[in-house]
Amino acid sequence: MYAITIPEPGGPESLVWAEVPDPVPGEGEVLVDVAASAVNRADLLQRQGFYDPPPGSSPYPGLECSGRISAVGPGVSGWAVGDEVCALLAGGGYAEKVAVPAGQLLPVPDGMDLITAAALPEVTATVWSNVFMIAHLRPGETLLVHGGASGIGTMAVQLAKAVGARVAVTAGSPEKLARCAELGADILIDYREQDFVEEIGKATGGAGADVILDIVGAKYLDRNVKALAVNGRLAVIGLQGGVKGELNLGALLRKRAAVTATSLRGRPLGEKAAIVAAVREHVWPLIGGGRVHAVVDRKVPLADAAEGHRALESGDHVGKVLLIAPGRS
């Protein structure tokens, strides 16, 4: 098969489409013929040499894919050759074939095409596990989503609205904020022109956000705590603004607030399977019912993954950038 390899870390040009050995499904795994994958921030970090795959996982980038099962390994039940699926991966999505633990498979949602389904696994698993399983967002509460126009952000807005929450977003342009509003966002904050702490305070009568989903990290840590409501929950899932910040524990104590930080890629298989099962139970009916949909900005050939990386790095996208495998459309 062919896959995107990274002979040397570097810029997008370091991604090389090369012939590599076919993967073989092991105990509890299936082999998926990939139809599409998607570009995630973790892929950019791996390309740059800053985020190695977990031990034992595929060396190729790609944290999600869609496709058809072409082989079933020992110990797998409930899946068969020919099933159309999408999957959460620890790596290997940028390839023509990938071996996937059965617990990380999802059926293609009702009414969705196979290619578009590649936009779902990483964002749905990330949002559901952090906003709902950990931060326990409830109907009537206010969620603040940083990077509302990103793949994560566009899914978080829709899922929060679907459960009856009020949603605030930050984004860097009026155009991106308009797209967030189309998805259901109630409070629109241009982070280049406005102070999100001040704006969330105004919008909530001084109460603050009950839950904040943050992709920035250290740069926003102090301001995020200021923006939290009493009993608020801050979920940090990205470090685009650095890894070390100062935390005012007094402010956290006064608000009886909590800060959590998680990643998805390196979790044990059992934890990933539990998250995927929860997504299938709670999110898939919303997608099949038309209340939530994948937001896809553009599609590029998998062999030209560098173009997809440039698109994500440019910051001019809304939603997901998909990589389409050879022979697919």
DSSP code string of 77-126: -S--TT-EEEEE-SS--SBSEEEEEGGGEEEPPTT--TTGGGGSHHHHHH
Q: Quick one: pLDDT band at residue 328, thresholds 50, 70, 90?
A: confident
pLDDT, position 106: 98
Q: What percent of the chain has pLDDT over 70?
A: 100
Token duo for residue 273: 């399977």
pLDDT in tens, 257-268: 999 999 999 999
pLDDT in tens, 39-59: 999 999 999 999 999 999 999
Q: What does the pLDDT average to over 185-210?
A: 98
User: Rounded to the nearest 5°, which phi and psi values hold at 221?
Assistant: -55, -55
pLDDT, position 280: 98
Q: Quick one: pLDDT band at residue 218, thresholds 50, 70, 90?
A: confident
pLDDT, position 9: 97
Q: What does the pLDDT average to over 185-214?
A: 98
d(CA 238, CA 217): 6
Q: What does the pLDDT average to over 165-181?
A: 98
Residue 319 in 3-state DSSP? Answer: strand
d(CA 166, CA 160): 7
pLDDT, position 123: 98
Q: Quick one: pLDDT band at residue 239, thresholds 50, 70, 90?
A: confident
pLDDT, position 243: 86
pLDDT, position 167: 98
d(CA 268, CA 248): 32
For the chain, give the secondary structure using H, E and C: CEEEECCCCCCHHHCEEEECCCCCCCCCEEEEEEEEEECCHHHHHHHHCCCCCCCCCCCCCCCEEEEEEEEECCCCCCCCCCCEEEEECCCCCCECEEEEEHHHEEECCCCCCCCHHHHCHHHHHHHHHHHHHHCCCCCCCEEEEECCCEHHHHHHHHHHHHCCCEEEEEECCHHHHHHHHHHCCCEEEECCCCCHHHHHHHHCCCCCEEEEEECCCHHHHHHHHHHEEEEEEEEECCCCCCCCCCCCHHHHHHHCCEEEECCCCCCCHHHHHHHHHHHHHHCHHHHHCCCCCCCEEEEEEHHHHHHHHHHHHHCCCCEEEEEECCCCC
Cβ-based neighbour number of residue 214 at 10 Å: 26
Average pLDDT of the chain is: 97
pLDDT value at 220 more than 80: yes
Q: What percent of the chain has pLDDT over 90?
A: 94
pLDDT, position 77: 95
Q: What does the pLDDT average to over 108-127?
A: 97
pLDDT value at 170 more than 80: yes
pLDDT in tens, 69-116: 999 999 999 999 999 999 999 999 999 999 999 999 999 999 999 999
pLDDT value at 329 more than 80: no
d(CA 103, CA 117): 17
d(CA 258, CA 246): 15
d(CA 41, CA 49): 13
